[in-house]
Amino acid sequence: MRGELVVETLVSVWQEMYRQSPSKVVIDEPHHSRRLTAEDLFVRSELSARRLAALGCGAGDRVSIDVAEPIDFLIAHLGVLRLGAISVPVPKGSSDGEIRDLARNCSPKVVLSDHSLSASWSEDGVMVVNLDTDVRPDDEVSIDDADADSVALMLYTSGTTGKPKGVPLSHRNLLATARSVLAAWEWSREDSLLLALPLHHMHGLGIGIHGTLCAGATAVAFERFDVDAIIKEVRNQRVTMFFGVPTMYAKLLGHEGFEAFANLRLMVSGSAPLSAESFRRITEVTGQEPLERYGMSETGMITSNPYRGRRIPGSVGKALPGVAIRLSGGDEGEVLVRGEAVFGGYWRQEQATREAFTSDQWFRTGDLGTLDQDGYLMINGRAKELIIKGGQNVFPREIEGCLEEMAGIVEAAVIGEPDEYWGERIVAVLVAASAPPDQETVRQFVAERLSRVKVPDEVRYIEELPRNRMGKIQRELLRG
């Protein structure tokens, strides 16, 4: 009807993209030889929604999804969205206790699981349903009725700088994020994305899966990152794009088959900083530059290096379409963000929500950055990681980048520790390839490249830097 208001949700956009090609494969699991077409996904996600309704779930209810395999996860996730409920993905590898803690925070109506959870869950009033449980669907309930501002998804922050917080995201938020990267990266229905990222996170789910659905494309998905299997899939020349985190690229660089990635049209890196040395090596091996981008659970994707244009090592690029950024101090300071993708506030945390926004409603990312004359953003680290030595601000990421250029150093993390004289002292925690350089050699290397105040006061060596599931360094574990 002319003039009728069209309400767009993630589900409605996905359905429209695949309506003319119901036999198109939406998601492919090579490791299990499973595929799901658009028609299959439509039917099976509707059945999932109606089974949830029969269990008492409805619009606005939270449903925790503790499912490992990508196809099963996607069916469950879309089933929740089609019912108008809120999908709450459980972090991969979570223990019973961790899942219980998450449930106590988000109060789900149901926990969907692909394995058996502790029977004591019933004591907390939480209904746990296994995927293979036979539940008679409710054929009368209305589905696909959510509106653009309905909450569709709740992610939890990584907790690297504090206790994880729930981040409710609406259909409008999720669509804005997906459409910004579709436009920036020229993502189309002809693309096939190789995806081995966790699906409880913005990178894997909010970009990888939702982007695939909104583009009408295909995702070739793995439950875990297996270097040999990934290389094999790229060699088959069925995929055009790859999304990864720096630790994945580090493993790929150690494989002789990584040169096959030259067949892809786009390699994206995110969730943690990609070192300039890794950028150089990836480019050298594959003949193409990785594209680094920057985003958060609360904002979706914020910036990206250009698909066509200059990609700068160490930079996360320019603001994506529909996103506005500014720095609190002009050309440097905390990164502030506005746009349709930005969430409205933390789950049941009014104080944290108030503190997260400026008086004129710009979201405070907590990341410190600088802008160059062309508008490219460099992230210098978290505001909570800033080291103040003798009254001077020291950004850990700048020193880490310097150290990672040193022969024999594989990885570097820089932290601040209390010091009676300086206020804070600089400690460099390093991973070495073989025989580690001694402390004075490291200090001299930094002194020749950076100002005196940035020279580490102490150097420590460990076998491996502690990281969370998305590859972010857990700096709190390095202190002490």
Concatenating the DSSP letter of every residue in 105-143 gives HH--SEEEESSPPPGGGGGGT-EEEETT------SSS--
**Alpha-helical segments (H) within 357-474:** 396-403, 439-447
469: containing domain: 386-478
Q: Name residue 322's amino acid.
A: G
Q: What is the pLDDT of residue 120?
A: 47
Q: What is the pLDDT of residue 159?
A: 58
Q: What are phi and psi of 359, to 5 degrees?
A: -65, -25
Residues 396-416 have pLDDT tens digits of 888 988 998 898 898 899 988
230, 96: one domain: yes
Q: What are phi and psi of 151, to 5 degrees?
A: -70, 130
Cα 433–Cα 249–Cα 305 angle in degrees, nearest 5: 125
Quote the longest CA-to-CA distance of the chain: 76
127, 91: one domain: yes
427, 290: one domain: no
Domain boundary residue, one of 379, 410, 444: 379
What's the CATH number where 93 sits? Answer: 3.40.50.12780
204, 348: one domain: yes
What is the domain count for the chain? Answer: 2
166, 270: one domain: yes
Using only C-alpha atoms, what is the Rg of the chain? 23
153, 274: one domain: yes
Closest to 203 in 3D by CA, of 232, 177, 229: 177
Strand partners, 216: none
Lowest mean pLDDT among 39-43, 171-175, 399-403: 399-403
**Residue 417 included in any domain:** yes
- How many Å from the N-terminal Cα to the C-terminal Cα in the chain? 67
Contacts 24+ apart (CB under 8 A), 1-4: none
**Residue 334 included in any domain:** yes
397, 374: one domain: no
109, 167: one domain: yes
CB within 8 A of 142, min separation 6: which ones? none
Angstrom distance (rounded) from CA 426 to CA 392: 12
Residues 4-35 have pLDDT tens digits of 445 689 999 999 999 889 999 999 999 899 99
Q: Are 251 and 452 in contact (CB under 8 A)?
A: no
Q: What is the pLDDT of residue 1?
A: 33
360, 397: one domain: no
393, 436: one domain: yes
**Residue 365 included in any domain:** yes
pLDDT of residue 51 exceeding 90, the answer is yes
**Residue 1 included in any domain:** no
CB within 8 A of 433, min separation 6: which ones? 408, 409, 410
432, 398: one domain: yes
**Angle in degrees, 0-180, between the axes of helices 439-447 and 396-403, rounded to the nearest 10:** 110
**Residue 457 included in any domain:** yes
Q: Between 161 and 305, whose confidence is greater?
A: 305
**Residue 197 included in any domain:** yes
Residues 244-299 have pLDDT tens digits of 988 899 889 989 999 999 999 999 998 878 888 889 999 999 999 999 999 999 99
The conformation of residue 467, written as its DSSP 8-state character, comes to B
Tokens of 327: 């720095």
Percent of the chain with pLDDT over 90: 63
Q: What is the pLDDT of residue 65?
A: 94
Q: Are 123 and 99 in contact (CB under 8 A)?
A: no
**Residue 2 included in any domain:** no
Angstrom distance (rounded) from CA 108 to CA 74: 18
Q: Would you give the distance in Å from CA 125 to the centre of its chain?
A: 31
Lowest mean pLDDT among 146-155, 314-323, 351-360, 447-456: 447-456
The model carries a pTM of: 0.85
Angstrom distance (rounded) from CA 82 to CA 268: 30
**Residue 4 included in any domain:** no
Closest to 150 in 3D by CA, of 76, 218, 83: 83
What's the CATH number where 465 sits? Answer: 3.30.300.30
Q: Are 64 and 39 in contact (CB under 8 A)?
A: no
**Confidence label for 387 from pLDDT (cuts 50, 70 and 90):** confident
Closest to 435 in 3D by CA, of 406, 458, 456: 406
382 sits in which H/E element: strand 377-382
pLDDT of residue 119 exceeding 50, the answer is no
Please give the torsion angle defined by the CA atoms of residues 233, 235, 237 and 239, in that order, rounded to the nearest 10 degrees: 40
Domain boundary residue, one of 379, 402, 428: 379
Could you please report the per-residue DSSP string of 183-241?
Answer: HHHT--TT-EEEE-S-TTSIIIIIIIIHHHHHHT-EEEE-SS--HHHHHHHHHTT---E
101, 40: one domain: yes
Domain boundary residue, one of 331, 357, 379: 379
Q: Between 31 and 97, whose confidence is greater?
A: 31
Residues 189-244 have pLDDT tens digits of 999 999 999 898 899 999 999 999 999 999 999 999 999 999 999 998 889 999 99
370 in helix, strand or coil?
Answer: strand
